[in-house]
Chain A
Amino acid sequence: MNIIVSIKQVPDTTQVRIDPETNTLIREGVESIINPFDMYAIEEGVRLKEKHGGKTIAITMGPPQAEAALKEAISMGCDEGYLISDRAFAGSDTLATGYTLAMAVKKIKDFDIILCGKQASDGDTAQVGPGIATQLDIPQVTYVKKIEDIKDKVATVERMTEEGFEIVKTSLPCLLTVVKEINEPRIPSLKGRMKAKKAIIPTWKAIDLDVDEVRLGLTGSPTWVSKIFTPPPRPKGKIFEGEPEDTTTQLTDLLKDRLV
């Protein structure tokens, strides 16, 4: 069974700052990590390979430095990594990103399952995974918390909902987005780290993919970010001090005054 894990390199979420002038993330001096939700997808991809055989391939679309994310994926047990990187992809929204990644998947061709994290910690859209599935016209199951069983080209998975979970059967090939409940990502082993250090990551540019150029990058993106801002902090609440009798009176007076 061949598994493709689509991952994203994001700024370390504990240090995100936004440039108020340009409305973009300040990237200088901020460490890049693999989107935390994608770590679960990588782990699940490696576990599936360990259980069923085959190989696990990590792909990412991003700037050249995103190679580090693919190397980390290899250190965790992925067999190969492909970097999809070209100036033509710059400014892609989720539609253009989903399209480009789907074309990369088509280039890999032979796959049974695509795994993605449920969403990226920077954009939080949760659209790229489903976008890839739509472009490839394959079934998708989002928010998967457990892969129960895979046999005879059918996967049975548990999918988280707000109320509980659903058990879903889907034919393969399919795309699954996973939640953090699905597993505990491993610490990359020494052998894995050494393998990652030596790994060669091929870069695929627009000309390497069978793409329609108008669907790439800014031109292929019907949406764009017009403004990003940090919401003002919520003002402090009013604290009444004194004996309970007095404070309750103060509170009811205020409520009457304002609302009633």
Chain B
Amino acid sequence: MDYLLTEEQVMLRDLCREITVEKIIPVAGELDKSEKFPWDVVKVMAESDIFGVYIDEKYGGMGGGLMELCIAIEEFSRGCAGIALAFSATALGTDPIILFGNEEQKEKYLPDIASGKKLAAFGITEPAAGSDASAMQTTAKKDDDHYILNGTKHFITNGGDAEIYTIVAMTNKSKGARGASIFIVEKDTPGFTFGKKEDKMGIRGSSTRELIFTDCKVPKENLIGREGQGFIIAMRTFDMSRPGIGAQALGIAQGSLDVAVKYAKERKQFGKPISSFQGIQFMLADMATQIEAARALVYASARQIDAGAKNLAKDSAMAKMFASDTAMKVSTDAVQILGGYGYMHEYPAEKFMRDAKITQIYEGTNQIQRNIIALNLIKETSK
């Protein structure tokens, strides 16, 4: 389907596709086994100006928006969603700075992120605070011209490999959700260490670690926005980042379909390619249609955000939820089409299925997305 991309967007898509085919697909299987961080691919992405696509030209970026970010994430995820995360989780970690950072913070941090010299990460999740982010235990206590951070974040994508972290911590616990704030914490800050690297079901080419803060002194200039704005910034960040998860899911779904179609045309049973059987054809037709519907939703939500739309929560949630549910279904069907081969590590279908699962879980489980959609729906209709 033609989504009427601009000439620059087509150029970006072609470039990302080239990187995916030449640099990502050849190493995806190996990194899935070894769980090594994809530094070689990160270098290629950086040299290709990819890390700056959504960052203002003023800070060395390419001046694009969420749509450009989604195009890149989708293409990379079509090859490997884990490798794509080095890029997309950096965008998540950068969003709070772009959205609420002051000029000094933007000038200090965005150029190195735009050039790909430094990766970023976002830290909100804690062992006891997942969907209920207000149960957060990490604290930030004002001490003269510093904040002292204490606590543990876990399941942090790019944790340990990123240089720049945006961290949510409680500056005033008694105020609950209104007592949270966001800080920029640099990797080598004393008192900031990393815990174990997680052994995951999927997205294994991406690193996931604990972040441990022990009397970690962060300069007060590193507070993003104002004290107490932490949750608002986090929620706005997620409104921006959810179409990106949708794009990642979309790439996984498309990658699965690519594998399934190729296999169905080559695999012969009963003397014919299995693509000639209606049972397979109907599955492929459903997969392709679901992907196209997900793509339309992801692109539409990204485009309206770029156009300056307000009240993004519901549409962003829809894009993330629908695309990730589609990725799970399509990748499962792709394994089914490949049959016994689909179940083997030697073929890429099962990896897409393992990678798809996380998109239904992180940046708000799909149950939380449904909460957001329903709450906004009820609110809109009761005006």
Contacts and interface: CB of A to CB of B under 8 A. Distances in A.
A188 B48 CA distance: 7
24 contacts: A187-B15, A187-B18, A187-B23, A187-B44, A187-B47, A187-B48, A188-B15, A188-B48, A189-B15, A189-B47, A189-B48, A189-B49, A190-B11, A190-B12, A190-B15, A190-B49, A190-B50, A190-B53, A193-B11, A193-B15, A194-B8, A194-B11, A197-B7, A197-B11
Contacts, number: 31
A189 B14 CA distance: 11
Chain A interface residue bracket vs B: under 10
A186 B47 contact: yes
A59 to B, nearest CB: 25
A191 interface: yes
Contacts of B18: 187
Contacts of B44: 187
B62 interface: yes
Contacts of B11: 190, 193-194, 197
Contact of A191 (B7, B23, B49): B49
Given A187-B15, A187-B19, A189-B48, 7 more contacts: A187-B22, A187-B44, A189-B47, A190-B15, A191-B49, A191-B62, A193-B15
Contacts of A193: 11, 15
Interface in A186-223: 186-191, 193-194, 197
A76 to B, nearest CB: 11
Interface of A: 186-191, 193-194, 197
A191 B62 CA distance: 8
A190 B62 contact: yes
Interface string B131-157: 000000000000000000000000000
Interface in B1-57: 7-8, 11-12, 15, 18-19, 22-23, 44, 47-50, 53
Nearest to A190: B49
A143 B19 CA distance: 29
Contacts of A194: 8, 11
Chain B CB count within 10 A is highest, among A190, A193, A197, for A190
A190 B49 CA distance: 6
The 7 A-B pairs at the shortest CB distance, nearest first, are namely A190-B49, A189-B48, A189-B49, A191-B49, A193-B11, A187-B18, A187-B48
A187 B23 CA distance: 10
Interface in B296-313: none
A189 B8 CA distance: 12
Contacts of B7: 197
A194 B7 CA distance: 10
B51 to A, nearest CB: 10
A135 to B, nearest CB: 37
Contacts of B15: 187-190, 193
B299 to A, nearest CB: 20
Nearest to A196: B11
Nearest to B44: A187
Chain A CB count within 10 A is highest, among B7, B18, B22, B48, for B48
A186 B48 CA distance: 9
Nearest to B52: A190
A43 to B, nearest CB: 12
Interface in B42-96: 44, 47-50, 53, 62
B74 to A, nearest CB: 16
A41 B324 CA distance: 45
A187 B45 CA distance: 10
Contacts of B47: 186-187, 189
Contacts of B23: 187
A16 B160 CA distance: 50
A158 to B, nearest CB: 25
Contacts of B22: 187
Contacts of A197: 7, 11
A189 B19 CA distance: 10
B52 to A, nearest CB: 8
Nearest to B49: A190
Contacts of A188: 15, 48
Contacts of B62: 190-191
A189 to B, nearest CB: 5
Nearest to B50: A190
A193 B8 CA distance: 9
B135 to A, nearest CB: 42
Nearest to B16: A190
Chain A CB count within 10 A is highest, among B7, B18, B49, B50, for B49
Contacts of B50: 190
